[in-house]
């Protein structure tokens, strides 16, 4: 069972998600710089989500490169990840349009947690199919970076109700740590 079509489908969905978010950036009524002001938080929410979706795509890309076989369970673990990613435009719009208020900020965090969990489930399904001695298994290892990210999200969640901007900074912080594609995997790929 080949992985090419699963990759192509995922690329399609992710490409659409990353571009439909920009549809939420509605052109303002006025034609002054001032008129753009209410759009600024929507813009920042968009940048954050663009980076997150980009990170998921880059890591998905890397992970699949070390994958040889896929099965039915992997197909559905992948669709499950795509489902949570497809929630990102919705929470981005809600958070951006309401200037990063508590509940939208918290819901954004919940979607990030669900997406991270879905990514981990997909990772485990892939490792299970490739076997514990596979290049993928040894490249991922105990996945400390993933666990730390999850911990930060869980800390950011309750903070959203008191100081949402701190939660937003934490979300951005996690994104920054992931901007470099997973070097463990890149290392393995070079080793061949």
Residues that bind a copy of itself (CB under 8 A): 1-2, 5-9, 11-20, 22-23, 25, 27-28, 31-33, 35-36, 47, 50, 54, 57-58, 61, 65, 71-72, 75-76, 79, 82-83, 86-87, 89-90, 93-94, 97-98, 101-104, 107, 179-181, 183, 186, 189-190
> Least distance in Å: CB of 177 to a copy of itself?
14
Our CB check for a copy of itself shows the closer of 151 and 183 to be: 183
> Least distance in Å: CB of 113 to a copy of itself?
17
> Least distance in Å: CB of 118 to a copy of itself?
13
Kindly state the tokens that stand for 152.
Answer: 């930060």
Q: Give which of 110, 90, 121, 92 is closest to 158, Cα–Cα.
A: 110
Q: Is the dihedral of CA 2, 7, 182, 156 positive or negative?
A: negative
Q: Give which of 153, 182, 150, 180 is closest to 169, Cα–Cα.
A: 153
- Give dist(CA 147, CA 121) in Å, integer: 13
């Amino acid at each position: 069972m080949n992985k090419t079509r699963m990759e192509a489908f995922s690329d399609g969905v992710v490409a659409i998600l990353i571009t439909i978010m920009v549809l939420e950036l509605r052109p303002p009524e006025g034609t002054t710089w001032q008129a753009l002001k209410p759009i600024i938080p929507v813009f920042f929410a968009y940048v954050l989500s663009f980076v997150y979706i980009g990170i998921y795509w880059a890591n998905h890309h890397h992970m699949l490169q070390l994958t040889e076989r896929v099965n039915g369970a992997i197909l559905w673990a992948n669709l499950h990840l795509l489902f949570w990613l497809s929630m990102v435009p919705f929470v981005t719009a809600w958070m951006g349009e309401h200037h990063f208020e508590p509940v939208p900020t918290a819901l954004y965090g919940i979607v990030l947690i669900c997406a991270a969990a879905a990514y981990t489930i997909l990772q485990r399904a892939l490792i299970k199919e490739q076997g514990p001695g596979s290049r993928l298994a040894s490249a991922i290892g105990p996945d400390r970076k993933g666990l730390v990210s999850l911990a930060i999200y869980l800390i950011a969640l309750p903070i959203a109700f008191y100081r949402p901007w701190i939660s937003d900074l934490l979300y951005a912080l996690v994104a920054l740590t992931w901007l470099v594609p997973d070097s463990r995997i890149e290392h393995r790929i070079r080793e061949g």
